Amino acid sequence: MKDYNPYEQMLSVLDLAAKKLGYTLNEYNAVRYPERELKVAVPVEMDDGSLKVFEGYRVQHSSSRGPCKGGIRFHQDVDVDEVKALAAWMTWKCAIVNIPYGGAKGAIQVDPSELSDRELSRLTRRYTAAILPVLGPERDIPAPDVNTDARVMGWMMDTYSMFKGYAVPGVVTGKPIEIGGSLGRNQATGRGVVIVTDEIAFRWGIAMQKAKIAVQGFGKVGGTAARIFYEKGYTVVAVSDVSAGLYNENGLNIDEISAYAEAKGTLKGYAGKGTSEISNEDLLKLDVDILVPAALENQINEKIAPDVKAKIIVEGANGPTTIKADKILKDKGVVIVPDILANAGGVVVSYFEWVQNLQAIFWDVHEVNTMLKKIMIRSVDEVCALAKEKNTCLRVGAYMAALNRVVKAKKIRGVFP
Ligand code: NAD
């Protein structure tokens, strides 16, 4: 049992946003509950002939604005409250960037590093079969999340298609290009994080060319964001993964570190010139301008928050800052760009992928990145304007922007029956 409940945390911000918008509980009560929570047992025959049973989930928070949409996480510590929170955040995220989706999330309680490739494939396929009745391009569309990737999405797409009897690329996004994936999807979340960072830094008068940046998590989100920051000539002074953090006050060579991580599967042991090893906790407390937590939830908590020195926190991960930490940071004047805005680039390009699949026509990467940038900047504009109008922080502003759209959609559709 975790000592904090991410779903309760989500609700506390939601209630605040609803109050600011002047909604009565009646008007938004339905979105305080996920529409559907599915828990499945996933039996897998291991390579040594033994049988292991894993616990899996798929939570659909809302389908008011379109099909449910959200990633699949493989992690040993995942529980249903975490999946519920992640599903709700997807609803808000899709509403902020105004794409026609609701929110969902799925997970299996497993440490995938302990499984062989064949075991991982069997696990993914059996899980997909177990949640198949609630999946579909018009119903619920998974994507990669922590410890899942294009290969896992390929297995999911194949499993679903085998049951249907024909190829259904639109059932998942973030899949390999060869079976209908979109150019630019792999980098989309990290690219979105960079676009949002540039926009917010500009508004708060921070010159990015002079700024120091620290990024926690070197996966699909953090690794990509660090690489794009570096390509733009910005100074990334620290990065980390689960094994170690790396620090160089003059800036890290992210190309070299990426090549090292690619070859070794870890950041630990990298010994570039002028680079020292630091802990993940120390990384969060560095004297930097921009901090991008892009690993897991609950990283910046009330113990860490008093020592955070960053001026701007851009939440690449979902739920990296606890509510208590959020308050401490706000009192210190730290600008926090909330997850549901900062990391929405992934679902935006997932949406492009789905549209391309439905139309069976594909876009070039320039088109994808241009549209992504346009949507992210528009969303930052809207959230900043609303936060300013209602005299509140960006997190509550983002929830207000999202809640507005979801409640309006629900009102128009009415309550069934
Ligand atoms: P990933 O599995 O590709 O990478 C996760 C990274 O975090 C790895 O470098 C891992 O070593 C590191 N990590 C794991 N546990 C850690 C710990 N305890 N301390 C420090 N580092 C740790 O996952 P990802 O897709 O990059 O997702 C990261 C976060 O971003 C998650 O919160 C996820 O929900 C969120 N997110 C992902 C996407 C996406 O498109 N992949 C989109 C939106 C949000």
Q: Report which protein residue has its CA nearest ligand 1's atom 19.
A: 242
Distance 193 CA to ligand 1 centre (A): 13
Tens of pLDDT along 144-186? Answer: 999 999 999 999 999 999 999 999 999 999 999 999 999 999 9
Burial class (CB in 10 A: 0-12, 13-18, 19+), 46: middle
Give the chain's radius of gyration (CA, Å).
20
Best mutation site among 83, 90, 242, 339 for ligand 1 pocket (most ligand atoms within 8 Å of CB): 242
Tens of pLDDT along 247-257? Answer: 999 999 999 99
Task: Grade residue 1 by pLDDT with cuts at 50, 70 and 90.
Answer: very low
Tokens standing for 194? 């960079």
Q: Report which protein residue has its CA nearest ligand 1's atom 38.
A: 145
Tokens standing for 104? 């969902």
What percent of the chain lies above the pLDDT cut of 70? 99
- Do 108 and 56 meet the contact criterion of CB atoms below 8 Å apart? yes
Alpha helix (H) ranges present in 268-393?
280-284, 323-331, 339-342, 345-359, 365-389
Alpha-carbon distance of 352 to 99, in angstroms, equals 10
When pLDDT is averaged across residues 370-381 and rounded to a whole number, the result is 98
Distance 166 CA to ligand 1 centre (A): 33
Mean pLDDT in the chain?
Answer: 97
Give the pLDDT score at 35: 98
Alpha-carbon distance of 414 to 409, in angstroms, equals 9
Atom number, ligand 1, closest to the C-alpha of residue 343: 43
Q: Which residue matches tokens 């209908």?
A: 180
Tens of pLDDT along 197-207? Answer: 999 999 999 99
Provide the annotated active-site residues. 105
Q: Which residue matches tokens 């509403």?
A: 95
Distance (Å) of CA 81 to CA 6, 42, 410 = 7, 19, 24
- What is the three-class DSSP state of 290? strand
Give the pLDDT score at 200: 98
Which residues are near ligand 1 (CB < 6 Å)?
144-147, 189, 216-222, 240-242, 280, 294-296, 316-318, 343, 346
Alpha-carbon distance of 122 to 114, in angstroms, equals 14
- Do 259 and 235 meet the contact criterion of CB atoms below 8 Å apart? no
Tokens standing for 149? 């990737």
Whether 245 has a pLDDT exceeding 80, the answer reads yes
Q: Which residue matches tokens 């700024």?
A: 211
Give the DSSP H or E segment for 18.
helix 6-21
Task: Grade residue 4 by pLDDT with cuts at 50, 70 and 90.
Answer: confident
Q: Partners of 42 in the beta sheet? A: 54
Q: Which residue matches tokens 């619920």?
A: 140
Distance 144 CA to ligand 1 centre (A): 10
Distance 163 CA to ligand 1 centre (A): 31
Distance 414 CA to ligand 1 centre (A): 37
Q: Report which protein residue has its CA nearest ligand 1's atom 8.
A: 219
Alpha-carbon distance of 336 to 308, in angstroms, equals 12
Atom number, ligand 1, closest to the C-alpha of residue 316: 30
Tens of pLDDT along 190-243? Answer: 999 999 999 999 999 999 999 999 999 999 999 999 999 999 999 999 999 999
